[in-house]
Amino acid sequence: MYKTPMKNEDVVTDIALKPAYIPAVWKKNLPIIAGMFLIILGLGTATLPYITDRDHVDLEVAELAEIATQPNIYENINLEARSAIVYDIKSGEIFFGRNEDVQLPLASIAKIMTALVAVHNKSGDDTVKVASGAFETEGATSLAVGERWHLSDLIDQTLVSSSNTGAVAIAMSVGSNIGGGKPTSSFVDFMNTYAAELGLEKTYFLNPTGLDEGHDLAGAYGSALDVARLLSFITKYNPELIRATGFQTVRAVTLDNVIKDAKNTNTSIQRLPFLRAGKTGYTDLAGGNLAIVFDVGLDHPVVAVVLGSSIHGRFTDIERLVQATFLKYKLQE
């Protein structure tokens, strides 16, 4: 077996859109980049040689390596997140971890598993009709009762815009094919079965959206390490499942010939070079979450995850982790 208000975020067809913009700063020479990154990472200007524009001093790679490795480039990184990880998909190595095995609320990151379970339990007819019951969940949506979608298009729509209605519509439709009780409950049972089969030891789902169930009960739990392993599995075996999430905007056409556009809830896309995919999450209990996959080299994907940050801090946290990882690799060349 094996594709809100701001409170848990809430549109793709053939993706004929521009990929994420690569900032010009990444194209400058290494010394300048390294100096900027070290400052951003909070290592402090005191660790850098004094340089002025008039001096035109070029730092040698060896000098930068010494600066960057004393302390470890990640060691003093300033993050708001309670938990974080940078995980090499190819080797399984953890480049950076901070409370990465602690169980925390996942919020809308849960929708990644919703998508995976859906594509592996769809029937021969992959049409999803949006049921009225899908609108009982919290969150803004552009979906309409009775709309018919190709499952893959609705998954893209749901992941990119973080649509709670879309996630429930998928769970209701696919869950009705699974059998064994109420469609949504059956679907969530499969989410937990998949989590166990993938070895995600800290992961547990109560609903397909990740929305909080109450004041002290989240809709999904897991660790940053679990999220990294889930994204690693998908990147290796079904990368198309999350490909749409690497775009700022995506367009879909329903089976009723209605055009739907979705804006990505990941507002840091333009500041994340070589981004493959990503998923945001935010609820009162979870705080700000963000998980991304990006290439640090040619066909060398890496996962970065932050959990328990703030609504804005999650983006800054991820950007700092990405910058540190690029610097790490540049210094190893």
Question: Rounded CA gap, 163 and 323, in Å?
Answer: 29
182 is catalytic: no
- Per-residue pLDDT averaged across 276-301, rounded? 98
Instruction: Kindly tell me if the per-residue pLDDT of 1 is higher than 50.
Output: no
> Dihedrals φ, ψ of 323, to 5°?
-60, -45
- Per-residue pLDDT averaged across 183-195, rounded? 97
Residue 246 counted as domain residue: yes
Residue 325 counted as domain residue: no
- Per-residue pLDDT averaged across 21-29, rounded? 42
Contact 183, 172 (CB under 8 A): yes
Residues ≥6 apart with Cβ < 8 Å to 225 = 85, 87, 94, 97, 100, 101, 202
Domain limits at 129?
80-312
Q: What pLDDT score does 88 carry?
A: 98
- Per-residue pLDDT averaged across 154-177, rounded? 96
Q: Which CATH number goes with the domain that contains 123?
A: 3.40.710.10
**Coil, helix or strand at residue 209:** coil
> Dihedrals φ, ψ of 103, to 5°?
-80, 125
Highest average pLDDT, of 19-33, 49-63, 121-135, comes from 121-135
Residue 65 counted as domain residue: no
Residue 298 counted as domain residue: yes
80's tokens: 């708001």
Point out the catalytic residue in the list 7, 111, 122, 260.
111
Positions at the binding site for substrate: 279
Question: Rounded CA gap, 35 and 328, in Å?
Answer: 13
Point out the catalytic residue in the list 83, 152, 161, 162.
162
- Per-residue pLDDT averaged across 40-46, rounded? 40
Tokens 């973080």, residue located: 162
Residue 192 counted as domain residue: yes
- Looking at the structure of the chain, the number of domains it has is 1
Instruction: Kindly tell me if the per-residue pLDDT of 24 is higher than 50.
Output: no
Positions at the binding site: 279
Instruction: Kindly tell me if the per-residue pLDDT of 311 is higher than 90.
Output: yes
36's tokens: 């900027």
Residue 205 counted as domain residue: yes
- 10 Å Cβ neighbour count for 136? 10
- Per-residue pLDDT averaged across 240-244, rounded? 98
Residue 143 counted as domain residue: yes
111 is catalytic: yes
pLDDT > 70: what percent of the chain? Answer: 78
Tokens 């547990």, residue located: 204
Tokens 């909080």, residue located: 212
Tokens 């997140």, residue located: 81
Q: What pLDDT score does 331 carry?
A: 77
pLDDT digits (tens, 9 = 90+) for 84-118: 999 999 999 999 999 999 999 999 999 999 999 99
108 is catalytic: yes
Contact 280, 9 (CB under 8 A): yes
Q: How far is CA 131 from CA 62, 110, 111, 136, 137, in A?
A: 61, 21, 18, 10, 12
Residue 47 counted as domain residue: no
